[in-house]
Amino acid sequence: MYTPRLHPDTIEEIKQRADIYDVISEYVVLRRRGKDFVGLCPFHDEKSPSFTVSPTKQMYYCFGCQAGGNAIKFLMDLHKRSFAEVVLDLAQRYQVPVQTLEPEQRQELQRQLSERSQLYEILASTAQFYQHALRQSQGQIALEYLQQKRRLQDETIVQFNLGYAPAAWETLYRYLVEDKRYPVQLVEKAGLIKPRKESSGYYDVFRDRLIIPIHDVMGRVIGFGGRTLGDEQPKYLNSPETELFNKGKTLFALHQAKAGISQMDQAVVVEGYFDAIALHAAGIKNVVASLGTALSIDQVRILLRYTDSKQLILNFDADKAGNIAAERAIGEIAELAYKGEVQLKILNLPDGKDADEYLHTHTSADYQQLLANAPLWLNWQIQQIVKDRDLKQATDFQQVSQQLVKLLKNISNIDTLNYYVSYCAEILALGDARLVPLRVENLLTQVAPQNNIRAIARSQYKSTPELPTQTNTKTPTTSEKSLLEQAEALLLRIYLHCPEHRQTINDALEERDLQFSLSHHRFLWRQILELASESLEDDLISRVQDRCLQFPEEMALVSHLFQLNERSKKEILRTPQVVQATTACMERVLREKRYRHFLELWEQTDPQTEPQRWQSYYQAFYAEKLRLQQLDKQRQFSLTDLL
């Protein structure tokens, strides 16, 4: 669906109609406390309520995890959806006419919204139809398959809305088009029927199949998976791609697993529908399935929204096909894994079983123990390389060595590289500790021949080059960089929450010709400047937050600045001193860079051949040095204490 640029008036009207108590109370049990309401935070585990909802401010805030915002932000964070998606859903719910910044888009948008609403309705009716058919005589074989072959209890069958598609060619078509009077074009667009090629009319896509509904993250039916009950091929048939259903961006059971993933801080991906269903039935709730396709980068990014540790475990079948599927999945997300953006692990179950089969003879605790012991993906790949190889044979040794080198070449982090070089060297040494150093040397020579091999092996981090000793300056430390980040954040917080000091901050930044050093702070400052001229003083923070919500990645880094807890309230009471200290800190970083730059130029210039340039650079770096000393005097109280 095309996402238009929504008019600010539409966003504002939705904010006014979408009462924050009504929205949040659907997900959190709220109890009145004075003018506000409190409850258990849905974004982190807690036993005593620290989550506060203020109807007067139309804002929420958690004192435990610092989550906060308005009704739109709440739904974005809870369901991991985009700003536009949440706003359009709320517009439909509260019957707010949607305006776009481009008037010509409005009619098309309203048509699309109406059509999408009907598609959801058609798919929900279809799911109910299939569930009803499962309990009729025609669905008896399918029901017995679920109860006996899959060993599913009735509550699990109901929980996953499992059903049956009758064997006749037009049963669903007649039900939806003739009985329910849905437009045939929309039923076709939902992926449920197809036009006949050699005659007029339509036929059902799913016939004589066990039906597994596929839901979106909000629990709405968007498609179906159908398993044959006989010898027909394919064994599993999925709905075709539609406006609502995209296999590469959908995960089976995510709407039921998202809470478990957040609670366990871990996502488990299996291959089949019934693997996921069996694990959920066994009480393992952080499991999704990949819809029979190779796990895509989009699916992985969706999963990572729900886990802070970014831990992902692939539990594909341990047979050859399962290993190929795992390798394909690794290929899709290897770049993320190498960068450390996902903690990827691989689980192969004993005896080549899938999760459903494994649970027939083992307990839930047994499976969870296997999850806990699952190897990291690099370890698993190394195991696959050496599996069934005799390293005492020259040919096998050479092939394994070459594959290990190929794997190691992709590792950019020096710590990780050192670890796995040593790990692989021990494997190739065949238990002879005396050979390990030689194997390390051989591997490193092939992995990074252009570098100083021994230096790489000894190093544990990439150090910042130091200035020449005569400069008497130091490279900024991590703590100094952290101090700068906190100073910039504090200045932005004051600007947002203290309208009376905005001009002071503007003057200070302009006088010193300062800019924010960190990209997310520059992003927020840019939004502030763009909206400052058109917003009332007291309305600025609300308008800026609405704007930022449309950029979820950047918003995640600055969202805490829109809230004030007890500590930050105390901080901004000392505003004049804070503005002086924070701007001095920001200017010091700028001056430090300029000082180093001119010093380097001075040292590289020959005073004999270019005396004027040499003198100019000397005066420039010396002036910067004097300014640095002045700035240090300005920071007469400890910014660390303040922050």
> Is the pLDDT confidence value at 25 over 60?
yes
DSSP letter, residue 97 = P
Q: What is the pLDDT of residue 3?
A: 54
Of the candidates 473, 425, 414, the one whose C-alpha atom is nearest the C-alpha of residue 448 is 414
Transcribe 7-73 into DSSP letters. Answer: -HHHHHHHHHHS-HHHHHTTTS--EEETTEEEE--TTS--SS--EEEETTTTEEEETTT--EE-HHH
Rounded to 5 degrees, φ, ψ at 20 are -65, -30
Give yes or no for a contact between 145 and 229, defined as CB atoms under 8 angstroms apart.
yes
The last residue of a domain, from among 69, 101, 133: 101
Asked whether residue 193 is assigned to any structural domain, the reply reads: yes
The pair of three-digit structure tokens given for residue 343, joined into one six-digit string: 């903690």
**Spatial separation of the C-alpha atoms in residues 71 and 90, rounded to whole Å:** 10
Q: What is the pLDDT of residue 328?
A: 80
Asked whether residue 473 is assigned to any structural domain, the reply reads: no
Residues 612 and 561 in one domain: yes
- For the chain, give the mean pLDDT: 82
The pair of three-digit structure tokens given for residue 625, joined into one six-digit string: 């040095």
User: Residue 227 forms beta bridges with which residues?
Assistant: 210, 236
> Is the pLDDT confidence value at 9 over 70?
yes
Residue-wise pLDDT for 43-89, tens only, equals 887 778 889 998 888 899 998 888 899 999 999 888 888 888 888 88
The pair of three-digit structure tokens given for residue 556, joined into one six-digit string: 């995640």
Q: What percent of the chain has pLDDT over 90?
A: 34
**Spatial separation of the C-alpha atoms in residues 214 and 227, rounded to whole Å:** 13
Residues 279 and 312 in one domain: yes
Q: What is the pLDDT of residue 373?
A: 93
Highest mean pLDDT among 36-50, 266-280, 497-511: 266-280
Domain count within the chain: 5
Residues 260 and 359 in one domain: yes
For residue 192, give the CATH number of its domain.
3.90.980.10
Residue-wise pLDDT for 375-389, tens only, equals 999 999 999 999 989
For residue 370, give the CATH number of its domain.
3.40.1360.10
Q: Tokens 């999850």: give the residue.
A: 371
Residues 392 and 372 in one domain: no
Give yes or no for a contact between 61 and 563, defined as CB atoms under 8 angstroms apart.
yes
Average pLDDT rounded to a whole number, residues 276-281: 97
**332 CB-near residues (< 8 Å, 6+ apart):** 294, 295, 296, 297, 300
The last residue of a domain, from among 397, 427, 458: 458
> Is the pLDDT confidence value at 281 over 70?
yes
| Cα–Cα distances in angstroms (integers) from residue 282 to residues 34, 153, 638, in the given order | 43, 11, 56
Q: Look at strands 202-204 and 59-62 and give their pairing.
A: unpaired
pTM: 0.61
Rounded to 5 degrees, φ, ψ at 195 are -75, 145
Q: How confident is the model at residue 313 (pLDDT cuts 50, 70, 90)?
A: very high
Residues 354 and 407 in one domain: no
Give yes or no for a contact between 259 and 44, defined as CB atoms under 8 angstroms apart.
no
Q: What is the pLDDT of residue 98?
A: 73
> Is the pLDDT confidence value at 344 over 70?
yes
Transcribe 471-513 into DSSP letters. Answer: G---PPPHHHHHHHHHHHHHHHHHHHH-GGGHHHHHHHHHHHT
Residue-wise pLDDT for 212-222, tens only, equals 999 988 789 99
Residue type, 283: G
Give yes or no for a contact between 385 and 403, defined as CB atoms under 8 angstroms apart.
yes
Residue-wise pLDDT for 414-436, tens only, equals 778 888 988 999 999 998 888 88
Asked whether residue 200 is assigned to any structural domain, the reply reads: yes
Residues 482 and 622 in one domain: yes
Residues 62 and 147 in one domain: no
**Spatial separation of the C-alpha atoms in residues 420 and 586, rounded to whole Å:** 41
Q: Please, what's the b/e burial string for 558-589 (b: 16 or more CB within 10 A of its CB; e: otherwise)?
A: bbebbbbeeebeebbeebeebbbbbbbbbbbb
Structural domain including 299 reads 249-382
Q: For the chain, what's the residue count?
A: 643
Residues 377 and 413 in one domain: no
Burial class (CB in 10 A: 0-12, 13-18, 19+), 436: middle
User: Edge to edge, what strands does the sheet with 267-270 contain?
Assistant: 287-289, 267-270, 311-315, 343-346
Q: What is the pLDDT of residue 462?
A: 34
Q: What is the pLDDT of residue 633?
A: 67
The pair of three-digit structure tokens given for residue 140, joined into one six-digit string: 């008896």
Give yes or no for a contact between 251 and 226, defined as CB atoms under 8 angstroms apart.
no
Asked whether residue 470 is assigned to any structural domain, the reply reads: no
| Cα–Cα distances in angstroms (integers) from residue 462 to residues 187, 411, 453, 455, 633, in the given order | 59, 15, 14, 11, 33
Residues 423 and 349 in one domain: no
For residue 72, give the CATH number of its domain.
3.90.580.10
Asked whether residue 1 is assigned to any structural domain, the reply reads: no
User: Residue 194 forms beta bridges with which residues?
Assistant: 203
Asked whether residue 137 is assigned to any structural domain, the reply reads: yes
Give yes or no for a contact between 621 and 602, defined as CB atoms under 8 angstroms apart.
yes
The pair of three-digit structure tokens given for residue 308, joined into one six-digit string: 């802070």
| Cα–Cα distances in angstroms (integers) from residue 139 to residues 132, 174, 227, 516, in the given order | 9, 18, 13, 65
Residues 134 and 228 in one domain: yes
The last residue of a domain, from among 245, 265, 295: 245
Highest mean pLDDT among 53-57, 393-397, 529-533, 561-565: 393-397
Average pLDDT rounded to a whole number, residues 493-516: 83
Residue type, 184: V
Give yes or no for a contact between 89 and 189, defined as CB atoms under 8 angstroms apart.
no
> Is the pLDDT confidence value at 302 over 80?
yes
> Is the pLDDT confidence value at 471 over 80?
no
Residues 579 and 439 in one domain: no
Residue-wise pLDDT for 555-599, tens only, equals 778 888 887 776 667 666 666 667 777 777 778 777 888 888 888
**Spatial separation of the C-alpha atoms in residues 333 and 297, rounded to whole Å:** 6
Asked whether residue 341 is assigned to any structural domain, the reply reads: yes
Asked whether residue 469 is assigned to any structural domain, the reply reads: no
Residues 503 and 543 in one domain: yes
**Spatial separation of the C-alpha atoms in residues 209 and 518, rounded to whole Å:** 56
Transcribe 230-245 into DSSP letters. Answer: SS-SSSEEEPPP-SS-
